[in-house]
Amino acid sequence: MTERVTVQDARRTRALHGALALLLIAQLAALLWLIWRRTPHGPLWDEWELANFLELAAPGRLRPGVFWEFQNEHRIFLPRLILYELIAATGWQRQLIMAFNLGLALGTFALIFAAARRTIGGHAAALLGVPLALLLFSFAQFENWLFAFQTNFILAGCGIGLALWGLLPRPTRGAADRALAVAIAGASIASLSTLAGLLTWVAFLPAVWWRGPWRLALWCAVALAIGVPYFGGFPGHAGGGASLGAIARYGLAYLGAPLGYPSVPLATAYGLLGLVLLALVATHIWRRGWLDARACAWLGLALLALGAWSSPRRGAQRSAWIRRSPRATRVFRRSSG
């Protein structure tokens, strides 16, 4: 009887994995169709900032420090390196760059799904994978999929997925040390992609604490090695700050946008519902005595979502002059030709 139940469970798990694979294929196919058939070939918005950056790539003019410079409040060191190489390799083919970004997002899904399998098993992870795929590849995130400059945010998500996967418990000390190295690499990738990525070090700190004092010290040392120079010369914010009420409303809409967009009230309601569910889950974990390294890793992922919208934000500063600049046009034509 037990053997029969096991066989049935295995069949159900395979069926769930098959349904999840079909869902992912449908989502990716639809997004790729939009990328290749419904996006322009010329740069848009922040992509024009790359025109000046590429002009500095002329022999002898591109300094390593250029990659480290601020983009608004972000140091997008790794995305600049990646975009520079992609533009050089593709002749500024936006569609190829957007397809690359979609591949990064698929890697993020794979990392979170692998972490779920390690935590709750294959059957439950397959059930979790359906809402995860619907949220992660939501069409409400059209700017992430249809604007090539979004590499920095998508790469940061991939780094966070690496950190989550690396901070789950391992059976041996050697495996735990290697996984910690992966987690540190992931947190570093997130930090060097966007400002909110720095929160990875804070959000996952409780999960690292379970690993022991020397691993905690290593985690903090790398965080400081990246964070201290990051804030050197941090750009100021012009104008007055937003009220706490406005920040709260923005944050709730931000959290609920994958489900509620384009309705701001609906997105706000979903964001509030998410906070309530998170509080209930955290309370249940605490009361049942399940607060361990695994729970701390997953709660860290939730804290990152909360912290991302509360981090300092500036409105994107559009450089209208660069869109009209003959020099910018020449750089684009040279890169794409």
Question: Is the preceding peptide bond at 59 cis, omega within 30 degrees of 0?
Answer: no
Q: Is the pTM of this model over 0.85?
A: yes
Q: What is the pLDDT of residues 214-272, one digit of tens each?
A: 999 999 999 999 999 999 888 865 545 567 788 788 888 888 888 888 899 999 999 99
CB neighbours of residue 298 within 10 Å? 20
* Per-residue pLDDT, 305: 83
pLDDT at position 174: 93
Domain ranges of the chain: 45-53+74-231
Structure tokens of 102? 């979609």
Low-confidence stretches of the chain (pLDDT < 50) are 1-3, 5, 239, 312-329, 331-333, 335-336
Write out the two tokens for 322: 């660069």
Other C-beta atoms lying within 10 Å of the C-beta of residue 161? 26
In the prediction, which pLDDT does 237 show? 58
pLDDT at 320: 35
The upper half-sphere exposure of residue 160, i.e. CA atoms within 13 Å in the direction of its Cβ, equals 28
Spatial separation of the C-alpha atoms in residues 112 and 107, rounded to whole Å = 9
pLDDT of amino acid 310 = 56
Among residues 98, 208, 204, the alpha carbon closest in space to that of 90 is found at: 98
Contact (CB, 8 A) for 259 and 267? yes
Predicted local distance difference test score (pLDDT) of residue 245: 80
- Report the pLDDT value the prediction gives residue 84, as an integer from 0 to 100: 86
